[in-house]
Amino acid sequence: MAKAELMNYEKALEQFEVVIGLEVHVELNTNTKMFCGCANIFGDEPNTNVCPICIGLPGSLPAVNKKAVESSIAIGLALGCQIAPNGRFSRKNYFYPDLAKNFQTSQYDEPIAFEGSIEVEVPSGKKFTVEIERAHMEEDAGKLTHIGGNTGRIQGAEYSLVDYNRAGVPLVEIVTKVVYGAGAEAPELAAAYVRLIREMVKAMDVSDARMERGNVRCDANVSLRPHGDPKLGTRTETKNVNSLRSIERAVRYEIQRQAHILANGGKITQETRHWHEDKGATSAGRPKSDADDYRYFPEPDLVPVQPSVEWVESIRATLPENPALRRRRLQDEWAFSDLEFRDVVNAGLLDQLVETVEAGAKPQAARKWWTGELARLANSEDKDVSELNITGVQVAELATLVEAGKLNDRLAREVLTYVLAGEGSPAQVVAARGLEVVSDDGALLAAIDAALASQPDVLEKIREGKLQAAGAVIGAVMQAMKGSADAGRVRELIIERANQG
């Protein structure tokens, strides 16, 4: 793949206005699929959760999953949408091997939810209102795995495997209206929007919301137009970007790529594009015109979806707190500064913090571990901190051990690496590896006396009030104890020694 030429980002923004639009697919966590009784489980043996309905055998008849409709309504309400009193499913006809029915059951002109809006805050603290055009129900397709070739894509592959376990899993597709005015912050806005959707669906418990498993996937539409031009530019649609960082990078890349083409008199091709995380670039997919004709027609095998007002209102009553209000409440409860709180939100760590604090850690300690050492470790492995193999409960356990003086900072960091390596909870690691701080004063005093023997003038200096002289002895003791001493306690003991003499 030849790398496209890019315009400098600031220069691109001087010349062009950025216009974006976002489509987010949320996979629902219902027990069963959208139109059949097959289990909706991630990671089972391929083609074990299939039946005549979800692989589209002739004569099979679908039935709508009530829980999926309920979850879809909940999502619509959380997005401030109106709920359609009468909605229908439609067949979207196309052939692809991961879709054995030859059509996808979706919603076309009668989505379950429409006309909403949500407020999205970007890392700078600026707030944008993102208008929602619609949220509709549909089914997922199966999963293709291309073998051979080195890109994992169909090009160059020797053969492909298909797994229909995912075929028929319920999805809600949320489509925004065109978003203007984000300017240089368009990439951050796109990522913050998806983060908010993820936070919402997780809080409502309608999706597992794990991006690395494809539970939340984003298609990002980007177009540019010269400032002041009333006509929208030609857009590209970067498909299935599945991490927040990738969304931000993909939008930024498209802005720079399109700006270079337009500034040099070229034309943007209306097409889908793929994001390549390793190369930090997008590549052309298939051309996509607005007139793509899927021959939608009403699904004759399903009755219309007609949620009653009572049902919709009973779902509304179960909605969790609005995310913006929840954030405000948590910031108050934790007594975080705006900056501290924003750091947590922007790192996508709000849920982790809640779990850690609920498990007994002090909010500031929870923040320090997640945005400090854990973020650093994730970064060094080129991962999202949320992908690390550690839970809030485990971080709380670590913080509690530090708080109780059983671990010092250095030991706690060491314990973390073993927890991440799967050796168990912090307490289990401490027990198995004997990493606890030495709190036995006898052992500490022996080390102190040994250190003092080589620095006999230190006690005299301390008696004269030169307390900083203790530093050299503390250092020697920590070294002798291989870091497993509590430096504060060592200092106390040295001063006691001086006062005794």
Binding site for Zn ion (CB under 5 A): 36, 38, 51, 53-54
Q: DSSP states of 178-241 as a string?
A: -B---GGGHHHHHHHHHHHHHHHHHHTTS----GGGTSEEEEEEEEEEETT--SPPP-EEEEEE
DSSP symbol at 31: S
Smallest distance from Zn ion to CB 257, Å: 41
Output 98 or 340, the one with its CB closest to Zn ion.
98
Q: Supply 270's token pair.
A: 């209306």
Q: How many CB atoms lie within 10 A of CB 11?
A: 13
Output 65 or 346, the one with its CB closest to Zn ion.
65
The radius of gyration computed from the CA coordinates of the chain, to the nearest angstrom, equals 28
Output 62 or 307, the one with its CB closest to Zn ion.
62
Output 99 or 179, the one with its CB closest to Zn ion.
99
Smallest distance from Zn ion to CB 205, Å: 23
Pairwise CA distance, residues 259 & 220, whole Å: 17
Distances (CA, A) of 377 to 384, 387, 388: 10, 11, 9
Contact 97, 144 (CB under 8 A): yes
Smallest distance from Zn ion to CB 67, Å: 15
Output 56 or 80, the one with its CB closest to Zn ion.
56
Smallest distance from Zn ion to CB 360, Å: 43
What HEC string does 32-85 produce? ECCCCCCECCCCCCCCCCCCCCCCCCCCCCCCCCHHHHHHHHHHHHHCCCEECC
Burial-class residue 230 by CB neighbours within 10 Å (0-12, 13-18, 19+): exposed
For 455, half-sphere exposure in the C-beta direction (CA atoms, 13 angstrom radius) is 21
Smallest distance from Zn ion to CB 137, Å: 17
Output 52 or 152, the one with its CB closest to Zn ion.
52
Output 50 or 354, the one with its CB closest to Zn ion.
50
Output 54 or 220, the one with its CB closest to Zn ion.
54
Output 48 or 269, the one with its CB closest to Zn ion.
48
Query: CA-CA-CA-CA torsion for 74, 80, 86, 90, nearest 10 degrees?
Result: -80
Output 140 or 486, the one with its CB closest to Zn ion.
140
Q: How long, in residues, is the chain?
A: 501
Smallest distance from Zn ion to CB 209, Å: 23
Contact 64, 139 (CB under 8 A): no
Query: CA-CA-CA-CA torsion for 299, 300, 301, 303, nearest 10 degrees?
Result: 80
Residues β-bridged to residue 162: 144
Residues β-bridged to residue 90: 106, 298
CA 148 to chain centre: 30
DSSP symbol at 98: T
Smallest distance from Zn ion to CB 47, Å: 11
Smallest distance from Zn ion to CB 174, Å: 25
Smallest distance from Zn ion to CB 188, Å: 40
Output 51 or 445, the one with its CB closest to Zn ion.
51
Pairing of strands 216-226, 236-241: antiparallel
Output 37 or 156, the one with its CB closest to Zn ion.
37
Smallest distance from Zn ion to CB 32, Å: 8
Query: CA-CA-CA-CA torsion for 361, 367, 369, 371, nearest 10 degrees?
Result: 160
Q: Supply 149's token pair.
A: 């070739």
Pairwise CA distance, residues 136 & 134, whole Å: 6
Smallest distance from Zn ion to CB 56, Å: 10
Smallest distance from Zn ion to CB 251, Å: 36
